[in-house]
Amino acid sequence: MDTDVLKGGFSNAPVQSAQAFRAIMTLLARPGEILGVQGAMPPAPLSVAAGVTLITLCDPETPLFLAGAWDCPEVRKWIAFHIGAPIVPRAQAHFAVGSWKDFGPVTDFAIGTPQYPDRSATLIVELETLSTDGPALRGPGIKTHTTLSLPDVETFQANATLFPLGLDFLFTSGTSIAGLPRTTKVEAT
């Protein structure tokens, strides 16, 4: 057995997963904020923040899509051991992880249905850097406006028009994470 796959999970799962879950939910409730998370040490190219997110939100019943370089044997083995999530094609995914350019058209991901808008995908977008520089964000959880570095303004604007359907996004870089739910309106810069 490859013993490297045994490394990188939470050392105190009940406490660390609760802390990570609270941080992720806070970020989705307060779009544009950036928080640091820690506890998981996944294999490259997964960042710590993406690994923490996956190990917290996914389980053996969560279909997961790995985009581009993230679909590699090391990541697949780590997910199989620590999470057990099935790796599926993009159209079947509840969660997806990769770089923005590797996702291709995000319209290929599930956006929910009128009866079940919650059956949409959450994309974990790995970025080189994550900052509060960028287009203005407005909507629930934002007092007036905030800003966040986004890889593509038009896609997020189009996504917000689909509400109550649409995709939710988590942006990760190193140990930093930010959220952008489908309710957030993105203004052009």
**pLDDT 10s digits, 146-173:** 999 999 999 999 999 999 999 999 999 9
- Residue written as token pair 């890889």: 151
pLDDT of 3 above 60: no
Mean pLDDT across 139-149: 95
- Residue 134: the pLDDT is 93
Percent of the chain residues past pLDDT 90, beyond the cut: 90
Q: Give backbone dihedrals phi and psi of 131, rounded to 5 degrees, phi first.
A: -145, 170
- Residue 126: the pLDDT is 98
Which tokens hold the place of 185?
A: 């309106």
Mean pLDDT across 60-75: 98
Cβ(169)–Cβ(177) below 8 Å: no
Cβ(180)–Cβ(140) below 8 Å: no
Cβ(59)–Cβ(90) below 8 Å: no
Q: Do β-strands 64-66 and 176-180 pair in parallel, antiparallel, or remain unpaired?
A: unpaired
Q: How many C-beta neighbours within 10 Å does residue 113 have?
A: 11
Q: Do β-strands 95-99 and 168-173 pair in parallel, antiparallel, or remain unpaired?
A: unpaired
Spell out the domains of the chain, with CATH numbers in brackets: 3-186 (3.40.50.11310)
**Distance of alpha carbon 59 from alpha carbon 68, whole angstroms:** 22
Q: Which range, of 5-14, 51-60, 89-98, averages the lowest pLDDT?
A: 5-14
